[in-house]
Amino acid sequence: MIRPAREEDLPRIAEIAEAAFSRYIPRIGRPPAPMLADHAAELPHLWVCEGTSGVAGYIGLFADDGAPPRLQIEPVAVDPAAQGQGIGRHLMAFAEARAREIGAEKLWLFANAAMEESRAVYARLGFIERDRRMDGGYDRVFLDKDLTA
């Protein structure tokens, strides 16, 4: 079940971010941005996926004011203990459905260049790399998915 995140979910969201992204610290040389995020400030944009034992993953969805709007995913994370159960795929399908609901023609996200596994998943889901640059002190790859096709 996917639902809007609540304040009481914030500690669990922080735990998931830590568990999901800490393995990238050696590759990046510092904590990935999702580990440093102000989840309380992002709360209106966060959605959680509940599994049988509680919140197992989360996703941030941010709409821009463009015409047509675009929906940005930032980030998507699944507790490593719950990976392989389709939670990430379910969260990504939810994001695509939300994008279509608001009339977005593009769904976009960025990933650290060092997160090769994530980028491979996004490619399988139909995302195309559009840009790569330093942003916020991180080497980021920007990807989008055309929803008009």
pLDDT tens column, 4-38:
999 999 999 999 999 999 999 999 999 999 999 99
- Contact, 74 vs 108, CB < 8 A? no
The yes-or-no verdict on residue 57 having pLDDT over 80 is yes
CATH number for the domain spanning 21: value is 3.40.630.30
Decide if 71 contacts 63 (C-beta within 8 A). yes
Nearest to 9 by CA among 78, 55, 53: 55
- 59 in Cβ contact with 94 (< 8 Å): yes
SS3 of residue 24 by DSSP: helix
The neighbour count for residue 3, using CB atoms within 10 Å, is 11
Q: What pLDDT is stored for residue 149 in this prediction?
A: 76
CA distances from 59 to 2, 77, 108 (A): 10, 6, 13
Taking Cα atoms as reference points, which of 92, 1, 83 lies closest to residue 49?
A: 1
Q: Range of 27's domain?
A: 2-146
What's this model's pTM, rounded to 2 decimal places? 0.94
- Total number of domains in the chain: 1
Q: Is residue 93 within 8 Å of residue 130, measured between CB atoms?
A: no
Query: 89-132 pLDDT, tens per residue?
Result: 999 999 999 999 999 999 999 999 999 999 999 999 999 999 99
